[in-house]
Amino acid sequence: MATNFDNYFKSAFTVDNVIFGFDEGDLKVLLIKRGEEPHIGEWALPGYFVKTDEDLDAAAKRVLSELTGLTNVYLEQVHTFGSVNRHAFGRVITISYFSLIKIDNYTIQPSSIALQAQWHTVNGLQHLAFDHDAILGSCLQRLKWLVKTRPVGFELLPPKFTLTELQHLYEAILRCPLDKRNFRKKILSMNLLVDCDETQEGVAHRPAKLYKFDRKRYNKLVDQGFNFELKETPTKKKNTVELSS
Amino acid sequence: MATNFDNYFKSAFTVDNVIFGFDEGDLKVLLIKRGEEPHIGEWALPGYFVKTDEDLDAAAKRVLSELTGLTNVYLEQVHTFGSVNRHAFGRVITISYFSLIKIDNYTIQPSSIALQAQWHTVNGLQHLAFDHDAILGSCLQRLKWLVKTRPVGFELLPPKFTLTELQHLYEAILRCPLDKRNFRKKILSMNLLVDCDETQEGVAHRPAKLYKFDRKRYNKLVDQGFNFELKETPTKKKNTVELSS
DNA sequence: GGTAATTAGTGTAAAAAATGCACTAAGGGG
DNA sequence: CCCCTTAGTGCATTTTTTACACTAATTACC
């Protein structure tokens, strides 16, 4: 199909994918070291050009699966960045996505993109190539909002997990401590977890119960428009507002 | 600047702007009647191609000001739509924005875009050109979320307004009735409104007090991370969840 | 085998927020 | 002057949130 837009400015398009994982109590993001100019040697978000006949979501999925081999992953478009000078070699507009993966499932795929892929702890990350700091920032903000609004945390955990692991995940994303009893009460009251009738093994303390996420029930509640909001409880801090002045 | 991306697919890209207004108790959106193929004669969102040296937000602002003459308007990027076949004449990726304007300020600008611009009540709108139904839908959803989260409603009202007008605005956006006493309590407790010491004129009933939005105080509270959440109160409906099965 | 160390798991009371509800007040129109 | 219309106001009940400390189960170590 020859386009009729020959007189209009056209731009190259990429997708950049903020791939989140959770390991050792920390929120991680998968970055690749750039092997070419510009920004050679700097860490960057995995991304690639969108193809002629490819939908945007499909491009994001492709980037993810080329890198990790995973499909069927939580993926969401976040924001589009298109400043005139964001790429030194010409105008490139990028559509940012984030995805949530279970880090255990991740095995590096031999591919051109993935030559230098590595997980990085999100907190305290160095400067990234291009405007990827801003992209990561906006995805983090979205994830923070999402986790308070929908029970997506499960996407980042192995199929069976303990409530403490889940709490640590929430704490890592929200970056605030939560009260154990209140957290459990709230999570369990949603009835989204199924007790596996199993316990942790190989730990040097009382083993915790393992739970699974009940996706069917979740989908049902979503259909009913149920509100999953989870309010944070930054222990020992009042959230009062100055009404004076 | 000659780009280095000659080997990559490039696409034309546009911004589409969902311009919301509020009048006669209804949420409105400004649409234009297409004067050319494809979709000639259908109603569409105002939008235009982004220029070579133009940032995305700037393009959205340009579309808005060419059409309405307004600048300094609430504007937010929402989502990018880029299905391969969304435009019959070639691939066009569009970045959608929405803006909130005070409908009184709107005077149609003589411009090529605006030949056939008209306000339409959002509720019960007919089919729009291209995928503009989906674009409008996502902007509506975002507005709904925003109005519950931030006091942006004021952007749609004249500088001085009554609490009843404000309530009707919220009801129009959220599409549910609110309790008058609870709504007023909640809104006033945020201390964002200033009593103008004036009342309505020319109404055939008890005149209402006029209020102004206190933007300074709002900015202050935003800095403090204050939570403006306003929960809806769909009168006489319990929000209980089935815990069985 | 006993004890120390470590994390799991549990309930209640107080405070804050949300909800439901109905009458009086003020002005214009006839 | 009465009627109509919308403005404006408070309280009691229910629900949600918050703060908080001890016992239980297991391994490691001596």
For D21, nearest residue by CA–C1' is A181
Mean pLDDT of A179-195: 95
Omega before B38 cis (within 30°)? yes
For C5, nearest residue by CA–C1' is A205
List of residues 6+ apart from B236 with CB closer than 8 A: none
The amino acid present at B241, given as its one-letter code, is V
Measure the CA–CA gap between B14 and B30, rounded to whole angstroms: 17
Whether residue A149 is predicted with pLDDT greater than 50 in this model: the reply is: yes
| C1' of C11 to CA of A221 (Å) | 28
Look at residues A159, A160, A157 and name the one whose alpha carbon lies nearest to residue A168: A157
The amino acid present at A52, given as its one-letter code, is T
Whether residue A176 is predicted with pLDDT greater than 70 in this model: the reply is: yes
Whether residue A160 is predicted with pLDDT greater than 50 in this model: the reply is: yes
**Residues B14-52: tens digit of each pLDDT:** 999 999 999 989 999 999 999 888 999 999 999 999 999
Whether residue A2 is predicted with pLDDT greater than 90 in this model: the reply is: no
For D3, nearest residue by CA–C1' is B205
pLDDT of residue A137: 98
Whether residue B105 is predicted with pLDDT greater than 80 in this model: the reply is: no
Structure tokens, B13: 């890209």
* Chain B residues whose beta carbon lies within 8 Å of the beta carbon of residue A91: 3, 52
Element (H, E) at B145: helix B132-149
Whether residue B61 is predicted with pLDDT greater than 50 in this model: the reply is: yes
pLDDT of residue B224: 78
Contact (Cβ atoms closer than 8 angstroms) between residue B173 and residue B27: yes
Measure the CA–CA gap between A238 and B111, rounded to whole angstroms: 54
Mean pLDDT of A70-78: 96
Whether residue B100 is predicted with pLDDT greater than 90 in this model: the reply is: yes
pLDDT of residue B110: 66
pLDDT of residue B111: 66
- Going from the C-alpha of B96 to that of each of B60, B80, B141, B198, the distances in angstroms are 8, 6, 13, 39
CB of B180 nearer than 7 A to strand D: yes
Mean of all residue pLDDT scores within chain A? 89
List of residues 6+ apart from A18 with CB closer than 8 A: A29, A45, A78, A96, A97, A98, A99, A135, A136, A139, A140
Measure the CA–CA gap between B92 and B13, rounded to whole angstroms: 5
Look at residues A173, A82, A152, A155 and name the one whose alpha carbon lies nearest to residue B57: A82
Tell me which chain B residue has its CA closest to the CA of residue A81.
Answer: B56
Structure tokens, A188: 């369990």
Residues A152, A158, A160, A164, CA torsion sign: negative
Max mean pLDDT among A235-239, B31-35, B106-110, B127-131 falls in B127-131
pTM of the model: 0.91
Whether residue B239 is predicted with pLDDT greater than 70 in this model: the reply is: no
Q: Mark yes or no for CB contact B79/A77 under 8 Å.
A: yes
Contact (Cβ atoms closer than 8 angstroms) between residue B95 and residue B142: no
- Going from the C-alpha of B210 to that of each of A102, A215, B130, B170, B214, the distances in angstroms are 54, 50, 42, 17, 13
Residue % of chain A over a pLDDT of 70 = 90
Helix orientation angle between B163-174 and B132-149, rounded to the nearest 10 degrees: 130
**Residues B139-192: tens digit of each pLDDT:** 999 999 999 999 999 999 999 999 999 999 999 999 999 999 999 999 999 999
pLDDT of residue B125: 94
Whether residue A36 is predicted with pLDDT greater than 90 in this model: the reply is: no
**What confidence category does residue A237 fall into, taking pLDDT thresholds of 50, 70 and 90?**
very low
Measure the CA–CA gap between B173 and B143, rounded to whole angstroms: 8
List of residues 6+ apart from A228 with CB closer than 8 A: A149, A150, A151, A190, A221
**What confidence category does residue A20 fall into, taking pLDDT thresholds of 50, 70 and 90?**
very high
| C1' of C28 to CA of B184 (Å) | 25
Mean pLDDT of A132-147: 97
Q: Mark yes or no for CB contact B56/A93 under 8 Å.
A: yes
Whether residue B10 is predicted with pLDDT greater than 90 in this model: the reply is: yes
Contact (Cβ atoms closer than 8 angstroms) between residue A4 and residue B12: no
Mean of all residue pLDDT scores within chain B? 89
Mean pLDDT of B68-73: 92
pLDDT of residue B234: 58
Whether residue B242 is predicted with pLDDT greater than 60 in this model: the reply is: no
For chain B, report the end-to-end CA distance as a whole number of angstroms.
63
Whether residue A240 is predicted with pLDDT greater than 70 in this model: the reply is: no
Measure the CA–CA gap between A103 and A15, rounded to whole angstroms: 22
Q: Tokens 């959205």 belong to which residue?
A: B60
| C1' of D27 to CA of A205 (Å) | 6
